[in-house]
Structure 1
Amino acid sequence: MPSGVLNNASWLLLEKGLLLGSGFLFTIVLTRYWSVSELGDYQYLLALVALLVPFSNLGLNSLVSRELVTRAEHTDVIMGTAVVLRLLGALLGGVIFSLLSIWLVAPTLQPLFFVLLFAQLSHAFGVFDYYFEAKVQSRVSAILRTCVGLSFMAVKLSCVVQGADLYTVLLLTVVEWVVLSLMWLLVYQLYHKRLKEMSWCSAQARRYLSRCGWLILSSIAAIVYLKIDQVMLGSLHSSESVAFYSLASRLSEVWYLVPGIVVASFYPSLIKAKEQNEDYQGSLQRLSDSLCWAAITIAILMSVIAPVLVPLLFGDTYLPVVAILQIHIWAGVFIFMRALFSKWLLIEDLPKYSLVTHGSGAIINLLLNSLLIPEHGALGAAWATLASYAVASYLGLFIFPKTRCMGVLMTYSLLAPVCRFRLRKRG
């Protein structure tokens, strides 16, 4: 791997680690200073706003990066058109969700929600991140996001300790979004020195829109996976259940960074093995086995220590998180193997199956949540998540002939100890 690429990845990994760690610390502090209901309202509003990400992204991220690499001489048009399209998408999403808020958001929280909707327009300027990605200068983006994120995290932590409520923290979040967008503009000008030259081009817009349809749908499916359970808990059950579930999911999802890093590290060697026919299937099987049983080991350990870990981190008030975590953590088994499957789809040039499998999982997630949440609350949402991940990342692979081989490979991974025992017995 070229040193520039490795350096790029290292900065992004450092950024994710710092922001993830500070975010987790902030959540722990919130559990100590806020009521369960207030924490639930906070997580619910953020989850609801997160559903707008596909509108503000419009699936343009990878397209912008590719265009900047292949048509660098048109950078001003590429960037200007992308920013306008993302602003229009964010505005459309804001209008739709402002209408939905009549049913989804409590009247007392609606003014704050409208402020969040307006502020999310600033997410459109995140497109500048992909300029630096195309230039293999993600260090710039990582430093910018980390500095802004950690600075505002420190301010919010201080405010919460001094008694700040939900409104204060979310308004600080709004300011953070706006400051980050202004910093994107400033840094882009410093590096490219042509901010004023950005321009709209109808032909470029059509070029984008003709290619991003599948990507938008895939983004919607992915965000449904991540956030719809908390939104449905808040609308169908209670704020308290959102709080309990959000804490359990944080303790589960903190591990999801591991398979991404591992698979990204092996990705070049897998491509080489495929091209040169050097034990490609064997490499896939060994990596799948390792990912599968690493996830199973984590799930067992977290299930065992949950009764001690949860009250230690969050206090006895949050003991219901234990049972939710002991279910939710097992979804990681399928997420870990899914990381390899996602790269396999790229190697085999089968990208449409990413949307098909994600979409099927999202639909199942919605259906199961609507059936289980009214009666079982956060426990029902945890079971729905586990089932939908199992379908999207494992069982669904057996439906399609072209992905069936990966379903079989994952089955061998799940049964690896049994298979090895039988081989040794035969030996």
Structure 2
Amino acid sequence: MGGFMKSFSVLKKTGLYSFMSNTSWIVFESIIRAIVGLTVGVFIARYLGPENLGKLSYSSAIVGMFGVLAGLGMDSNIVRDLVKEKDRVGEKIGTTFFLKLSGSLIAVVCCISSVFILRSNDVTVVSITIILAMSMFFLPFDVVSLYFQSIVKSKYTVLAKSFSCVLSAILRIILIFNDAPLISFAWVGLAEAMLSAVALTYFFLLKRNQVGFSWTYKFETAKKILAEGWPLLLSTAGAALYMRADLVMLGQLSSNHSVGIYTAMLRISEIWYFLPAAFISSLQPFLVRAREISRDLYIFRLRVLYEFMILLSVSVSIFISLFSDYLVQIVYGHQYQEAALVLRTHTWATIAVFLGVASSQYLVIENLQKISFYRTAIGLLANIVMNALFIPIWGAFGAAFATVISFYIATFSLILFESSRGQCFIIIRSILPLNIINFIRGAKNDANF
């Protein structure tokens, strides 16, 4: 018992306890969302079939591409500032809320304009896109989750988002059992965004006595946020484009059926993408503090992070490659069987995605957001060109192949820039199995991590 209490005391002193506690909440929410999303997504895919699923996914892709405007794409910067400038938290949050609300209006206009240009002859797709676009007006309330993240209290965000996720999942199941039309699922998407905003507001008001500040707007702060964050905003916008460009280009160059097949594959391939975001969202404050304490400690933590991302992503990719046929057959049934080959190809993008998310934190902390934009632009350009070449020939498989190659090009384009070249070499060395073993041992033996 004494040994346990001593270990607990060490964890509290080093800050690892709060990191682990906060991470466990984020991982819990991510796992719940992934399990619920996959389970309900499977029911929806089986119910709608590839054609209708393709229509719903096409509309969701358009909204996803412009959704970054509503979210500003600067969340990492905002969390960093909230950690560093505790005396200006109310000003930062209030100003960010106003900026996000302005971005939401722009995003909605862009979504509606785009769908009329691309699919004006498809009334169903246009209607679904407009309904889903309205959900972006609730995204500004996510500033509450940024505040909870900055004080390492993400459990309130987890409770709010899990509540909305589970409730909306129940609504979708009810729609399936009642043979609801396709457009009904778009209305549930809007309801989920509203429920999340209401729940976040509730927890913030519940803790208002502990908060000790009020939201304020300051024009100079808004200018500073935009001036510092526009490279990251453009980078995030580019990332959203090339995470969704394949679906939109499939819809334009192939068919709704191909979009449905590709979407079914993505639900399995991308279900693991929450893992790096879950760990890194809690780790960011510790990386910021480590940089202030010691450059060696800072680099050490980054290297351990890359090693862990490699180990995790390679394990996922091998597992999916070996069992893709069985997974697709069991999960979706015979009508989606052609998604297995697409899944076997797309899963190898996982390694590049995990390393890309991890290295993005380095760029944010070092104020190298311009490089984030440049490498995303490089990946986006490669993705669009290869999609245009391969989709007309191979359909969904061509889109998967183009996406995998473009992700690696984007992640390792860090080597093109002098200020990030050293990090790229560290990432490359992380691939070596011996390094993985050594850094795992080092992480276990280093109490300061």
**Same-fold call, TM > 0.5?**
yes
Q: Structure 2 CA distance, aligned partners of 1:405 and 1:196?
A: 41
Given candidates 197, 209, 231, the residue that maps to 2:226 is 209
Q: Alpha carbons of 1:102 and 1:135: their partners in 2 closer, same or farther (altered >3 Å)?
A: same
Q: Structure 1 CA distance, aligned partners of 2:207 and 2:239?
A: 32
Aligned residues of 2:62 and 2:115 also touching (Cα < 8 A): no
Aligned residues of 2:135 and 2:189 also touching (Cα < 8 A): no
Equivalences for 1:355-374 in 2 at 5 Å?
355-374=373-392
Match in the other structure for 2:158: 142
Match in the other structure for 1:383: 401
Q: Structure 1 CA distance, aligned partners of 2:150 and 2:77?
A: 11
Given candidates 155, 168, 177, the residue that maps to 2:184 is 168
Given candidates 56, 61, 69, the residue that maps to 1:55 is 69
Moved more, 136-145 or 110-119: 110-119
Equivalences for 1:88-99 in 2 at 5 Å?
88-99=102-113
Match in the other structure for 1:114: 130
Match in the other structure for 1:305: 323
- Give the TM-score normalised by the residue count of structure 1: 0.85
Shift of 1:143: 0.6
Q: Alpha carbons of 1:192 and 1:207: their partners in 2 closer, same or farther (altered >3 Å)?
A: farther
Q: Alpha carbons of 1:80 and 1:379: their partners in 2 closer, same or farther (altered >3 Å)?
A: same
Instruction: State the AA in 2 paired with 1:158.
Output: I
Equivalences for 1:186-201 in 2 at 5 Å?
186-192=202-208, 198-201=215-218
Q: Alpha carbons of 1:411 and 1:216: their partners in 2 closer, same or farther (altered >3 Å)?
A: closer
Moved more, 367-376 or 331-340: 331-340
- Give the TM-score normalised by the residue count of structure 2: 0.81
Q: Alpha carbons of 1:108 and 1:346: their partners in 2 closer, same or farther (altered >3 Å)?
A: closer
Shift of 1:248: 1.6
Shift of 1:285: 7.1
Q: Structure 1 CA distance, aligned partners of 2:287 and 2:92?
A: 33
Match in the other structure for 1:424: none
Aligned residues of 2:23 and 2:279 also touching (Cα < 8 A): no
Once the two structures are superposed, residues 385-423 of structure 1 have per-residue CA deviations (whole angstroms, 9 ceiling, x without a partner) of 0110111123x2332344444544555555659xx9xxx
Q: Alpha carbons of 1:48 and 1:308: their partners in 2 closer, same or farther (altered >3 Å)?
A: same
Q: Alpha carbons of 1:65 and 1:350: their partners in 2 closer, same or farther (altered >3 Å)?
A: closer
Identity %: 25
Moved more, 308-317 or 92-101: 92-101
Moved more, 221-230 or 147-156: 221-230
Given candidates 218, 221, 224, the residue that maps to 2:235 is 218
Q: Alpha carbons of 1:291 and 1:5: their partners in 2 closer, same or farther (altered >3 Å)?
A: closer
Matched, 1:132 2:152: no
Q: Alpha carbons of 1:255 and 1:75: their partners in 2 closer, same or farther (altered >3 Å)?
A: closer
Instruction: State the AA in 2 paired with 1:322.
Output: A
Instruction: State the AA in 2 paired with 1:167.
Output: I
Match in the other structure for 1:398: 415
Aligned residues of 1:44 and 1:231 also touching (Cα < 8 A): yes
Q: Alpha carbons of 1:411 and 1:88: their partners in 2 closer, same or farther (altered >3 Å)?
A: closer
Q: Structure 2 CA distance, aligned partners of 1:39 and 1:297?
A: 30
Match in the other structure for 1:26: 40
Backbone CA RMSD of aligned residues: 3.4
Q: Structure 2 CA distance, aligned partners of 1:238 and 1:257?
A: 29
Q: Structure 1 CA distance, aligned partners of 2:312 and 2:93?
A: 41
Aligned residues of 1:189 and 1:195 also touching (Cα < 8 A): no
The alignment of Structure 1 onto Structure 2 pairs a total of residues equal to 416
